[in-house]
Structure 1
Amino acid sequence: MGNQKLYKGSLQTIILKLLGENDKMYGYEITQRVKQLTKGELNITEGALYPALHKLEAEGLLDVEVAKVDNRLRKYYKLTENGTKETVNRLAELEEFIKTMQTIVNPKFA
């Protein structure tokens, strides 16, 4: 999809969902997984990813673990207990939003 702006409001939910499915992930890994899942339709830039990760961390939804990998420090993100609960809430909100949009865009399939 050419219009990345449509995905922007869902970025935090996407991150939470991926972290809910994986114990922990680092930033580049998140971007590559999204790219793989969407067959290249969604490319998350560092400029969008890291502010979203920092906001989720500030909200207490993510923990950060630093590990040395190949002589470099790598930040791994994982859900906190509150993050796990919030993931369920945000996914439910996103599903409801998608249903609502479906009734507007394509009412015969709603």
Structure 2
Amino acid sequence: MHDRELLKGTLQTIILQLLSNNGEMYGYEITQKVKELSRGSILVTEGALYPTLHKLESEGLLKTRREKNGKRIRKYYYLTTEGKSIVTEKVDAFRSFIQTMYYVLDISPV
């Protein structure tokens, strides 16, 4: 499992990219997709996910819609136009950061 502090700095980028790739998703679905894609090495908790989703929503990058699912109401998150325009920028910045860390830590890319 990966360090929580490392995850904290990347969670916004992960969420934005997932929503870009998958359209709209609800919270639990996001956590399960991250777990699946990371082969179980990244486990996103509700305590980390929902504050990040709310922050992205307050910044105008996400919107929500509600859908009744049986007796439950499910909240789906999706990218706004501004959110869609920033995904590539965030992913490119992260990629550049990783490449820089290879040099700083004097390690080879995997």
Q: TM-score, normalised by structure 1?
A: 0.93
Unaligned runs of 5+ in 1: none
In 2, the alpha carbon distance for the partners of 1:21 and 1:108 equals 29
Paired residues, number:
109
In 2, the alpha carbon distance for the partners of 1:20 and 1:2 equals 24
Aligned to 1:73: 73
The CA RMSD measured in Å over matched residues stands at: 1.2
CA contact under 8 A between 2:102 and 2:108: conserved in structure 1? Answer: no
Q: Runs in 1 of length 4+ with deviation above 4 angstroms?
A: none
Task: Please list the CA deviations of residues 13-40 of structure 1 after superposition, one character each: whole Å capped at 9, or x if unmatched.
Answer: 0000000001100000000000000011
Aligned to 2:36: 36
Q: TM-score, normalised by structure 2?
A: 0.93
Unaligned runs of 5+ in 2: none
Offset of 1:105 from its aligned partner?
Answer: 2.5
Q: Identity of counterpart residues, as a percentage?
A: 50
Give secondary structure in 2 for the equivalent of 1:40. coil
